[in-house]
Amino acid sequence: MPEPESNEQEGGGARSFWSGTITFGLVSIPVALYAANRSGGVSLRMVSPEGTPLTRRYFSTADDRELEAGDIVRGYEVEKGQYVVVEDDELVKLAPEKTRDIDLRQFVKVDDIDPMYFERAYFLAPTGGSNKAYRLLAKIMEETGRAGIATFVMRDKEYLVAILAENGILRAETLRFADELRSPDSIGLPEPVEPKAAKVKEIESEIAKLKETRLNTSELKDRSSERLLKVVKAKLKSGEDVVHVEPSERDEEDEDNVVDLMQLLKRSMQGIEVEAEEKKPKRAAGGGGKRKTKDDDLEEASKADLLERAKKLDIAGRSGMSKQELVEAIRRSA
């Protein structure tokens, strides 16, 4: 499941990034979803020796030709060198039905779920006056040692989750699919052998020396990141290897050129409605006022939409144009 863009509100509080309803039988419990993890580690950006940020480009391996955003399609590799191209409208048809339900399909014993299936944790919190029903469900699940297996849709993708209860709180763990797990046999482990008694006692003795009554979470530190940050801070303080680069216009254009797949799919789904709407005369509220023109539509359109229109008009060099340049090119070609 994707990480929310920001799970922190101003002032340090967390905020939900999805809301819906846990449903099974006649039971409906409104809940909100909060990320139980946050990304850690230290990220480094690729830059030139002078400190200029680098951007990624796509090139054809056949002729080393750089491709524009509008020239890139998706394909599934069926075998080496053979691909089946999948169009945006075909992906739209495969998208799951949009719903706000966490559809609880079955309750199973918590111990029956191998922890290897767990992928990412999220907290579920009661909303809309559902606290009493929420607490009751959590209490019953915890007392019976049961977990709920459910599906729900977020950002045009369906997820499989396990709903767990602990200390009166419901938690959703996204699950890996069965074919994503490897078996011990698949990695070629050798056959087990009977160890010597003396070796068993030696290992048991060493384990006893390190035995603790509970996990010390202070030991769960990212020491690699701490060491890297220590180097960065020392260099920053001394001024060593510190470079300052002003963002270029091309950097800003590259950011504008990043088109999310889901945005493309949504536009494809709305394509017929958009085209029909564009053909209708625009009227101001109440039937009076200034009528909206095609030029107004271009000025108000996002850069992603302008790139899509430029592709349909086969405008050369469109991926390297700024938003205003796209507007002008579309006006000339229309």
Report which listed range, 144-148, 225-229, 318-322, is most confident. 144-148
What local confidence, expressed as pLDDT, does residue 34 receive?
93
Give CA 158 to chain center in angstroms.
12
Are 35 and 173 in a shared domain?
yes
Number of domains observed in the structure of the chain: 2
Residue range 3-31, pLDDT digits in tens: 554 455 544 457 788 999 999 998 999 99
The H-or-E segment that residue 264 falls in is helix 261-279
Residue range 131-173, pLDDT digits in tens: 999 999 999 999 999 999 999 998 888 999 999 999 999 999 9
**Where do we find the tokens 């349909």?**
312
- The total of other beta-carbon atoms located within 10 Å of residue 309's CB is 19
239 is a domain residue: no
74 is a domain residue: yes
Lowest-pLDDT range, 5-14, 210-219, 278-287? 278-287
Are 276 and 157 in a shared domain?
no
280 is a domain residue: yes
CB of 198 closer than 8 Å to CB of 205:
no
Residue range 241-258, pLDDT digits in tens: 887 776 665 555 555 444
For residue 322, the enclosing domain spans 249-284+291-333
Over its C-alpha atoms, the chain yields an Rg (Å, rounded) of: 27
The CATH number assigned to the domain holding 51 equals: 2.40.290.10
Are 12 and 133 in a shared domain?
yes
